Amino acid sequence: MSVNVGILGGTGAVGQRFIQLLDGHPDFELVAITASDESAGKSYREAAKWRVDSPIPNWVGDIEVRATEPEAVPDDVDLLFSSLPSGVAEVVEPQFTEAGYVVSSNSSNSRMADDVPLVIPEVNGEHLDLLEVQQDERGWDGALVKNPNCSTITMVPTLAALDRFGLETVHVSTLQAVSGAGYDGVTSMEIIDNVIPHIGGEESKMETESRKLLGSFDGSEIEQHDVDVSASCNRVPTLDGHLENVWAETAEDIDTDDARDAFADAPTLDLPSAPDPLIEVFENPDRPQPRLDRTLGGGMQIAVGGLQETSGGLQYNCLAHNTIRGAAGASLLNGELLVREGWV
């Protein structure tokens, strides 16, 4: 039986990725799309300035966009995906969960809240159990789950694989695509022939979210991992795909063969959007590259290369598609896990 789903904030860049990924999904049927009051009442084709690299599905183009409020969403919607701006989501998402909806959200608000699971299914799917605490404390009939920031989600699956050697310190420098800033985020005059060595708030997201994701759930709260993460985040003139240079220091000695084995052992899941393998390791020192490798596994795979031993551990590069694995695809995978675990 298919699960009826909706999208909160479905006309923006991430909302469009949701629609692309939901087209033909084996378990989910898209029945509702919300957006701003300006777009409500229009057909999706009229409301959205479509910029994704495939046509609007014909069956979606005629859907009437709804207002972003619980009263406007049909009662038979089982699961909502949220790509709302964080300021809007902070107000609106609790309204939907109070009304009994389960929300899988890409929005950045509440990611670090004590009772909100921040989840990468292959890394810490057991953190969904925190939803019992959330519902008890907030009195919600619904539930709210978050996926991490696009740059965090590129790196953390690789760190989880290496944690068997005792992660102690991680340094990361990112080369982040312009699509991560949204269509209006970076002008052509700013980014062409240029690199912008600062992305507001990005470093702190990587540093804090990583520890929560790698932490453990003790039945009542998340005990964060004690790894020390420091990040430098940079905007570069690529369209899609975040490339990151990582230096990981471990308590135990590690060589490149150990790392390859650890990456190969990274778990995958029997879910429609889960890639297999989770991590693809390149032997060529000049890979991964955004243009060549961002769509591996339908854009859901993590690509790794450039493995080198250092005095304290390992140096490597990792890459993921920032609006698929790092945004819409991440929320979609969380939604699939919510269904499998009985929360939907």
What tens digit of pLDDT does each residue of 250-261 get? 999 999 999 999
Q: Which of 150, 225, 233, 318 is catalytic?
A: 150
pLDDT tier, 183 (very low <50, low <70, confident <90, very high otherwise): confident
Burial class of residue 316 in the structure, from the number of CB atoms within 10 Å of its CB (0-12 exposed, 13-18 middle, 19+ buried): buried
233 catalytic, yes or no?
no
The band of 17, judged by pLDDT with boundaries at 50, 70 and 90, is very high
Prediction pTM value: 0.97
Residue range 150-321 forms a domain whose CATH class is alpha beta
3-state helix, strand, coil in the chain (%, to 5): 35, 25, 40
- What's the pLDDT tens digit per position in 264-317? 999 999 999 999 999 999 999 999 999 999 999 999 999 999 999 999 999 999
Assess whether pLDDT exceeds 90 at residue 32. Answer: yes
Q: What whole-number percentage of the chain has pLDDT above 70?
A: 100
pLDDT of residue 209: 98
Q: How confident is the model at residue 41 (pLDDT cuts 50, 70, 90)?
A: very high
Find out if CATH 3.40.50.720 is the number for domain 3-148+327-340: yes
Average pLDDT score over residue span 320-339:
98
* Burial of 45: CB neighbours in 10 Å, binned 0-12, 13-18, 19+: middle
Which residue intervals of the chain bear CATH 3.30.360.10?
150-321
Q: Can you read off the two tokens belonging to residue 124? A: 């810490």
Query: Does residue 123 have a pLDDT over 90?
Result: yes
Q: Which of 233, 242, 318, 321 is catalytic?
A: 242
3-state secondary structure of 173: strand
Report whether the peptide linkage leading into residue 267 is cis, meaning its omega lies within 30 degrees of zero. no
Beta strand 28-35 with 279-281: parallel, antiparallel or unpaired? unpaired
The three-state secondary structure class of 57 is coil
211-237 average pLDDT score: 98
Q: With 80 as the cut, is the pLDDT of residue 139 above it? A: yes
Give the residue-averaged pLDDT of 30-45.
Answer: 96
β-pairing, 66-67 with 28-35? parallel
Residues β-bridged to residue 172: 231, 246
Q: Which of 81-95, 175-189, 202-216 has the lowest mean pLDDT?
A: 175-189
| Residue 39: per-residue pLDDT | 96
Does pLDDT of 144 surpass 80?
A: yes
List where CATH 3.40.50.720 sits in the chain: 3-148+327-340
Q: How far apart are CA 313 and CA 57, in angstroms?
A: 47
Q: Is the pLDDT of residue 1 over 90?
A: no
Q: What is the tens place of the pLDDT at every residue in 227-249?
A: 999 999 999 999 999 999 999 99
Distance from C-alpha of 179 to C-alpha of 46, rounded to nearest angstrom:
22
Least confident of 137-151, 178-192, 306-320: 178-192
- Residue at token pair 């339908």: 298
Examine the residue annotation and report whether 318 is marked as an active-site residue of this protein: no
Query: What does the pLDDT read at residue 137?
Result: 96
**CA-CA distance, 10 to 82, in Å (whole number)?**
8
Q: So what's the pLDDT on residue 53?
A: 87
